[in-house]
Amino acid sequence: MRKVLLAALLSVSALPALADDCATAIDGNDAMQFDKKTINVPASCKTFTVTLTHSGSMPKQTMGHNWVLSKTADYQALAMAGAQAGLDNDYLPQGDTRVLAHTAIIGSGEQTKVTVDMSKLQKGSDYTFFCSFPGHFALMNGKFVVN
Ligand code: ZN
């Protein structure tokens, strides 16, 4: 009886994270990969929070990751420009309006997050998230879908 109750409690405690549609978590690793290719966002969300973790063992100087959101049409040019901007600027051109949201660059074992202001985005438009660390965007990208 006790075990059944405990199991029930555990499953209930796992629910809130799933029930929260206006937030997600994503991880980057040493193989230059995100663990998600698509992030779906309900259009009803006023803000959307993305928590980024780095499950690899390499430091941010050599295998840093961030999470950057832009229009899909902008992301490749933005990633190229970002590669020139340096680690101190999170590999993003400063003040660039193509950046809709971004986290800091993190390394092994670190965690960071960003809250996206959904009033800047439109349902049906094409958005991409990516890592702007030099050379990473080709592998580390995915679709950010508002629906
Ligand atoms: Zn990266």
Q: Which of 49, 120, 117, 61 is nearest to 91 (CA)?
A: 61
Provide the token pair at 89. 């600027």
Cα of 94 vs centre of ligand 1, distance in Å, is 18
As to burial, measured by CB atoms within 10 angstroms (0-12 exposed, 13-18 middle, 19+ buried), residue 114 is middle
- pLDDT per residue, tens digit, the chain (147 aa), is 555 555 555 554 444 434 479 999 999 999 999 999 999 999 999 999 999 999 999 999 999 999 999 999 999 999 999 999 999 999 999 999 999 999 999 999 999 999 999 999 999 899 999 999 999 999 999 999 999
Which residues have beta carbons under 5 A from ligand 1 (an ion)? Answer: 65, 131, 133, 136, 140
Q: Within 10 Å of residue 25's Cβ, how many Cβ atoms?
A: 14
The pTM of this model reads 0.86
pLDDT tens digit sequence for 56-86? 999 999 999 999 999 999 999 999 999 999 9
pLDDT at 17: 39
Contact 75, 20 (CB under 8 A): no
